[in-house]
Amino acid sequence: MASALFWIVLFSPTVLSFVVIVSPRKGFFRVGDQERVVCNVTGCAQTPDITWGALEDKPIAASIETLGSESVITYKNVKRNDENRLVCKAKCGGEQWKQGEITVKVYEFPEVPVITGHERLVLGEPATLTCNVSGVYPGQETEMEWLTDGKTASDPVEGTGNTLVSSFPLTPTHADEGRNITCRAWHRMWGGEKSVIQTSVTLSVLYGPGEVQVSGAAEVQVGDTLSLRCSAEGRPRPQLRWRIQRLSSQWAELEGGQELVVATATHAHAGQYQCVASNTLGESHACLNVSVQGPPRNTSLTLSPPHPIREGESVTLSCRTLSVPVGKVRLLHGEKELRSAVGSEVDITLDDIKLDQAGRYHCEALNRYGTHTNSTQLTVTAHPLQLELLPVGVVTTEIGSALSLVCEASGCPHPQLSWATPSSGVEGATRDSANSPRSELSLRLDSIAQEGNYTCLARCGSVTTSRHTQVALFSFPTAPLVERSGSLLEGEQSTFRCVLRDAYPREAFLFRWLLGDLELTTQTPAETTPAFESSVSVTMEQSLRGRPLTCEAELLMGGVPDVRRRSSIAIIMDVHHPPRNTSLTLSPPHPIREGESVTLSCRTLSVPVGTVRLLHGEKELRSAVGSEVDITLPAAQLDQAGHYHCEASNQYGTHTNSTQLTVTAPPRNTTVEVFPSQRVMEGENITICCHSVSFPPPLVTLTKLGNATEFSSHNGTFVLTNLTPSDTGDYQVNVTNDLGFHTQVFTISVMERSSVPSDGWEALLIPAVVIGSTLASAALLLDFVLRSRKKGSYKLAKCNSSSA
Ligand SMILES: *[C@@H]1O[C@H](CO)[C@@H](O)[C@H](O)[C@H]1NC(C)=O
Ligand SMILES: *[C@@H]1O[C@H](CO)[C@@H](O)[C@H](O)[C@H]1NC(C)=O
Ligand SMILES: *[C@@H]1O[C@H](CO)[C@@H](O)[C@H](O)[C@H]1NC(C)=O
Ligand SMILES: *[C@@H]1O[C@H](CO)[C@@H](O)[C@H](O)[C@H]1NC(C)=O
Ligand SMILES: *[C@@H]1O[C@H](CO)[C@@H](O)[C@H](O)[C@H]1NC(C)=O
Ligand SMILES: *[C@@H]1O[C@H](CO)[C@@H](O)[C@H](O)[C@H]1NC(C)=O
Ligand SMILES: *[C@@H]1O[C@H](CO)[C@@H](O)[C@H](O)[C@H]1NC(C)=O
Ligand SMILES: *[C@@H]1O[C@H](CO)[C@@H](O)[C@H](O)[C@H]1NC(C)=O
Ligand SMILES: *[C@@H]1O[C@H](CO)[C@@H](O)[C@H](O)[C@H]1NC(C)=O
Ligand SMILES: *[C@@H]1O[C@H](CO)[C@@H](O)[C@H](O)[C@H]1NC(C)=O
Ligand SMILES: *[C@@H]1O[C@H](CO)[C@@H](O)[C@H](O)[C@H]1NC(C)=O
Ligand SMILES: *[C@@H]1O[C@H](CO)[C@@H](O)[C@H](O)[C@H]1NC(C)=O
């Protein structure tokens, strides 16, 4: 190798007594190392003076230590800048300076070349290894090479400056596994062991797991040990794990590596086992189906439908088992085998089931390991036949009405319905359709023979049932009638009979008699076919009059509508009596003036009504059938005054009342009669009769005109006695009553005795009265006779009769 050598040039004169030696001879230092340069003075008896100097213009960056005849320069950490030429000078006593010299050269290598690209070599995938040598100093002098299997496999070295790179292409095969490959570099100039650096790597070729192998027993018996093994190649070494899939459900992870051991196998351990091998380059797996064998289990026997079955329906019995290995299943009813099959299931369908097919059914599963049985109870129920009859109970209905009975069965798919009726030959049972669960019986209830129970009968398989409706009839077509016998006259007894026709049933009826609100009696009816009746006797009293006597017939039978339950008739009690309380009233009631209007009203109480007559005196003014009669006098006259009678009569008698009609009028139509004459002889008496129409009776005054003396009379008669000629003059009568007055003036002439014959005077003066006598004595002479019945005016009877 062309490694350079440095040497120290020694200056050694022959006579010299001491020597300066600088070691090492060659200062060939590697950057980073610790190096020493020693200057040793030998042959000097005393302690020499030693100094160091640098020939290049650089300071010495190192520690210098001088001890005795030795001086040491120590480079703790060699740097490229430490390249220099060093001189060690020494002087021993008086001798000449001597010196030694060393040229320090510096080189640099990294610790080792760095090989990359070998970390992940995959089988068959081309790869390139790269070797880097960096920090090379001085670079131009460095070489690199690859060594493998002891052979050199140089490749072009690239690199500039301080870094060298060489690459090594490679497609890994299994043969490359474990192969050593080395990259080395050295200094061409200096050679020597120290200048060669190298790095070796051992190749490792990676590959994914290939075929996975699972081994073990695929069939184990319950309780045995299940042991499975798994193996797979690959680098890195594949990891092994186990999974199981039971009955095509999800995969479940298991514990285990190369070996999977289940100490005691159960059915739960059956399934598809999978060993999965995986490394960084991939994964692969293998499966093994393991069956765990044992006696049959989970044997079940199910019914479809599951609930209790009705007679006539069908049911399917399904027997299922889990059996590994597959064996045989048998379906039994009690001891009797119904069906058997090889496999794990057997079904049987029982149609139109009968009650005696109920009971316990067994499913028996067997294989070479054993037997397993399950059983179930088949319940067959009779049909819950329900019958509904509407209306139900007691139906009360009126004779002649229609009734519809509807019978409806439930709980049975095909019921048979029929009817039983009290009288044969009832028509009208209809069914909605042949198999309908509904039947309707339409009845026209015309006869009491149809009363009784109507029964609807239903049959369903082995079940029968019935419902009945009791029909009760009634008839209450009319209201009762009341008939009477006996007198209606007060105080006598009358009998009332209440009769109800065409009613039924008698025993359900009740008659109730009411007088007003008072209940008289309640009776069950007596039968007088075809009617029922009841009677009551009543003593006729006035207080009963106008009160209702009610006969109520009540039908006391359940189910009769309220409106049909009662019927009644009321008669108003008519108590007869003769007329009474007859009255005759005037309107207005007070005396009236002539010409005013007055109404006479005649009223009576009479049962029954008879006739009323209104009479004025003996004269009938008006009569009427009834209890009243009125008459109005639009302009009453004095002669209409007087007594009026109201006469009421009926079959039982007559009753009369009367009243006085008073008509007033001021005096009028006054006439004066003078008896015997207005011309009399002296000494004679004169009677003056005043007539006036007037009511109330007037006061009549007589005055001689020119003489204040006044005579008054209530009856209008004045007697002037023993007249003298001085009595000759004009006289005035003033007829006065409350309503007014009326006067008449007349003349009396009294002649002297000699001039008049005396015959007539005596005769004429017989009834006269002496003027001036008391009023009482005058009343004896004058007489007012009330003749209101005929004329309604007062007259002087005597005067009249005298004058007539
Ligand atoms: C210095 O030189 C003497 C004599 O040659 C020798 O004995 C001694 O070992 C040397 N010392 C060193 C450090 O080389
Ligand atoms: C090797 O050298 C190349 C080129 O100089 C450089 O790109 C690469 O990073 C180096 N690799 C290492 C590991 O030093
Ligand atoms: C590779 O080198 C290692 C040590 O560096 C050694 O133990 C091994 O035997 C070598 N391999 C081969 C195939 O030479
Ligand atoms: C294992 O059983 C499964 C079904 O459970 C089936 O798909 C698969 O093919 C079986 N594997 C083997 C190896 O028999
Ligand atoms: C019978 O089957 C039923 C329903 O499948 C199950 O609940 C019951 O445990 C079984 N009985 C036996 C003895 O296996
Ligand atoms: C009808 O049925 C009832 C029971 O609800 C019974 O008392 C009655 O005697 C029966 N009538 C007839 C006519 O059968
Ligand atoms: C006549 O009628 C009156 C009044 O109505 C009455 O007061 C009187 O008693 C009756 N007389 C008779 C006899 O009824
Ligand atoms: C009163 O006199 C008039 C005529 O002067 C006569 O029409 C009438 O009838 C008289 N009345 C009576 C009640 O005499
Ligand atoms: C009036 O009449 C009375 C009786 O007739 C008589 O006594 C009286 O003298 C008369 N007086 C005069 C003034 O005539
Ligand atoms: C008649 O008598 C009345 C009542 O006394 C009286 O008011 C009236 O003036 C008299 N008439 C004459 C004409 O004297
Ligand atoms: C007149 O009346 C008186 C008694 O009242 C009587 O005495 C006398 O005789 C009467 N004169 C004549 C003429 O009748
Ligand atoms: C008239 O009245 C007087 C008393 O006032 C009486 O004496 C006389 O008898 C009466 N005359 C008649 C006819 O009633």
pLDDT tens digits, residue range 321-370? 999 899 999 999 989 999 999 999 999 999 989 888 999 999 999 999 99
Domain shared by 669 and 778, yes or no: yes
* pLDDT higher than threshold 90 for residue 229: yes
Count of beta carbons in the 10 Å neighbourhood of residue 789? 14
Q: What is the pLDDT of residue 773?
A: 30
The verdict on residue 459 lying in a domain is: yes
> Of 180, 203, 226, which residue sits at a domain end?
203
> Of 248, 276, 292, which residue sits at a domain end?
292
d(CA 138, CA 191): 13
Domain shared by 670 and 778, yes or no: yes
Distance of CA 308 to the CA centre of its chain: 36
Q: What is the pLDDT of residue 779?
A: 28
The tens digit of pLDDT for each residue in 481-512 reads: 999 888 889 989 999 999 998 899 988 999 99
- For residues 671-698, give the mean pLDDT: 90
Confidence of residue 261 (pLDDT cuts 50, 70, 90): very high
- Ligand 10 pocket mutation pick from 711, 730, 734, 739 by most atoms within 8 angstroms of CB: 734
Q: What is the pLDDT of residue 238?
A: 94
Nearest bound ligand to CA 638? 8
Mean model confidence pLDDT for the chain: 85
The verdict on residue 13 lying in a domain is: no
Nearest bound ligand to CA 297? 5
Least confident of 141-150, 558-567, 706-715: 141-150
The verdict on residue 264 lying in a domain is: yes
Closest by CA position to 555, among listed 401, 446, 450, 399: 399
- Cβ proximity of 610 and 624 under 8 Å: no
CA atoms within 13 A on the CB side of 72: 9
Domain shared by 228 and 158, yes or no: no
Count of beta carbons in the 10 Å neighbourhood of residue 540? 21
Q: What percent of the chain has pLDDT over 90?
A: 51
Q: What is the pLDDT of residue 486?
A: 84
CA–centroid distance, residue 310 to ligand 9 (Å): 151
Domain shared by 28 and 95, yes or no: yes
- For residues 160-175, give the mean pLDDT: 85
User: Model pTM?
Assistant: 0.41
- Ligand 2 pocket mutation pick from 114, 131, 132, 168 by most atoms within 8 angstroms of CB: 132
Altogether, the residues listed in the chain come to a count of 804
- Cβ proximity of 265 and 292 under 8 Å: yes
d(CA 142, CA 144): 7
Domain shared by 582 and 633, yes or no: yes
Tokens of 517: 């609100």
Structure-model confidence comparison of residues 634 and 190, the more confident one: 634
Confidence of residue 111 (pLDDT cuts 50, 70, 90): low
CA–centroid distance, residue 385 to ligand 4 (Å): 56
* pLDDT higher than threshold 80 for residue 157: no
Nearest bound ligand to CA 135? 2
* pLDDT higher than threshold 70 for residue 793: no
Domain shared by 541 and 614, yes or no: no
Closest by CA position to 204, among listed 170, 238, 235: 235
Number of domains in the chain: 8
What's the CATH code of the domain at 521? 2.60.40.10
CA–centroid distance, residue 281 to ligand 6 (Å): 99
Residue owning tokens 């007596």: 526
For the CA of 180, the nearest atom of ligand 3:
1
> Of 547, 572, 597, which residue sits at a domain end?
572
In short, whether 452's Cβ falls inside 6 Å of ligand 6 is yes
The verdict on residue 802 lying in a domain is: no
Q: What is the pLDDT of residue 797?
A: 35
What DSSP designation does 753 have?
A: G
- Ligand 6 pocket mutation pick from 389, 450, 470 by most atoms within 8 angstroms of CB: 470
Q: What is the pLDDT of residue 425?
A: 57
CA–centroid distance, residue 701 to ligand 11 (Å): 23
CA–centroid distance, residue 302 to ligand 5 (Å): 10
Domain shared by 689 and 773, yes or no: yes
Q: What is the pLDDT of residue 764?
A: 31
The tens digit of pLDDT for each residue in 306-320 reads: 988 888 889 999 999
In short, whether 272's Cβ falls inside 6 Å of ligand 4 is yes
Q: What is the pLDDT of residue 200?
A: 92
Write the burial class of residue 638 (CB in 10 Å: 0-12 exposed, 13-18 middle, 19+ buried).
buried
Distance of CA 128 to the CA centre of its chain: 86
Least confident of 24-28, 222-226, 276-280: 24-28
Q: What is the pLDDT of residue 190?
A: 63
The beta strands (E) that lie in 652-803 are given as 653-661, 663-675, 679-681, 686-695, 699-704, 710-713, 717-720, 729-737, 740-751, 784-786, 794-796
Confidence of residue 709 (pLDDT cuts 50, 70, 90): confident
In short, whether 684's Cβ falls inside 6 Å of ligand 11 is yes
Domain shared by 641 and 718, yes or no: no
Per-residue burial over 355-377, b if 16 or more Cβ lie within 10 Å, else e, is eeebeebbbbbbbebeebbbebe
* pLDDT higher than threshold 80 for residue 754: no
Domain hosting residue 415, numbered range:
386-474
* pLDDT higher than threshold 70 for residue 39: yes
CA–centroid distance, residue 678 to ligand 9 (Å): 19
- For residues 391-408, give the mean pLDDT: 90
* pLDDT higher than threshold 90 for residue 646: yes
Confidence of residue 798 (pLDDT cuts 50, 70, 90): very low
Domain shared by 636 and 583, yes or no: yes
* pLDDT higher than threshold 50 for residue 781: no
Domain shared by 322 and 283, yes or no: no
The verdict on residue 683 lying in a domain is: yes
Domain shared by 719 and 765, yes or no: yes
* pLDDT higher than threshold 50 for residue 184: yes
Q: Can the peptide bond before residue 697 be classed as cis, meaning omega within 30 degrees of 0?
A: no
Q: What is the pLDDT of residue 461?
A: 81
- Ligand 9 pocket mutation pick from 686, 709, 727 by most atoms within 8 angstroms of CB: 709
Q: What is the pLDDT of residue 95?
A: 83
Ligand 1: which residue has its CA nearest to atom 10? 40
- Cβ proximity of 603 and 582 under 8 Å: yes
The verdict on residue 742 lying in a domain is: yes
The verdict on residue 11 lying in a domain is: no
For the CA of 703, the nearest atom of ligand 10:
14
Count of beta carbons in the 10 Å neighbourhood of residue 290? 21
Q: What is the pLDDT of residue 189?
A: 64
Composition of the chain by helix, strand, coil, percent to 5: 5, 55, 35
- Cβ proximity of 653 and 578 under 8 Å: yes
For the CA of 43, the nearest atom of ligand 1:
4
The verdict on residue 800 lying in a domain is: no
Least confident of 609-613, 741-745, 792-796: 792-796
Q: What is the pLDDT of residue 735?
A: 93
CB under 8 Å to 244, separation ≥6 — which residues? 251, 252, 254, 269, 271, 272, 273, 274
* pLDDT higher than threshold 50 for residue 644: yes
Q: What is the pLDDT of residue 160?
A: 64
Domain shared by 698 and 781, yes or no: yes
